[in-house]
Amino acid sequence: MKDLTRFLKNLLVLLIIGAVGYLIYWLFFKESPEDQLLIDKTPIHIEAIRAIAEISTVNYRDEVVMDSVIRYKGTTAWSWIDSTEIYDRNFNDNIKRRLTLIVRGEVRFGVDLSEMNYKIRQTEDSIFIQLPKPKVLDVVVSPSKTEIFQEQGKWTDRERTTLETKAKVKLVANANRMVLDQKTEKNMRTLLHQMIRSDKKLIIGFDE
């Protein structure tokens, strides 16, 4: 009975020490996630202005997940200092660092006529329009469409940028798998037929 009382007293003291320790950590060290840090007002700078002429006719919207995992190598001996590592090795699938992004983006297909690189020819009964080959005009990604799903450990900007760049490549690869070039051409033909009012027959071709 005496031993039990002593054990409970010790346990209580340990709990109090732990609680005080956490309170100190929470008050002085931990950054409170509830407070959204607001950036200062700064002006924008126009760095370039360009006249373009791009007609987009297909929009592919997708969401890709990019996951980067770095695991511990070798073995380690138990110590209080390495408690995080011990936890991760035993209870967190040996994961040292992990960064997972969810990137929502759009891939736009169309034709770029900025260089006036199209030809129009007419005969008595037909109009021939030769357009450049459809291509990916834009890969639309932005921070508001990017979610940091999880971040464990320290990650550099370069590592995050690399993941985001890979996400863009993946978005385009997914879009290309849908063979959207043909759809782009079809939509372009429909659009031009709606825009050109003529009794002549409209024949639209695309460069190879």
**90 to 119, contacts with another protein by CB under 8 A?**
91-93, 95, 98-100, 102, 108, 110, 113, 116
Token pair in block for residue 62? 């997708």
Cβ pair 58, 182 in contact under 8 A: no
Q: Is 77 in the site for another protein (CB under 8 A)?
A: no
Q: Interaction with another protein in 21-40: which residues (CB under 8 A)?
A: 21-22, 25, 27-31, 36-40
Least Å from the CB of residue 156 to another protein: 9
- Residues whose CB falls within 8 Å of the CB of residue 98, separated by 6 or more in sequence, listed in order: 67, 68, 69, 70, 150, 151, 152, 153
* Integer Cα distance of 59 and 142 in angstroms: 16
Which of 1, 5, 34, 43 is the binder for another protein (CB under 8 A)? 43
Residues in the interface with another protein (CB under 8 A) total 96
* Integer Cα distance of 107 and 63 in angstroms: 11
Q: Is 79 in the site for another protein (CB under 8 A)?
A: no
Q: Is 13 in the site for another protein (CB under 8 A)?
A: no
State the first-to-last Cα distance of the chain, in angstroms, to the nearest integer.
91
Which of 7, 11, 17, 67 is the binder for another protein (CB under 8 A)? 67
For another protein, the closer of residues 10 and 165 by Cβ is 165
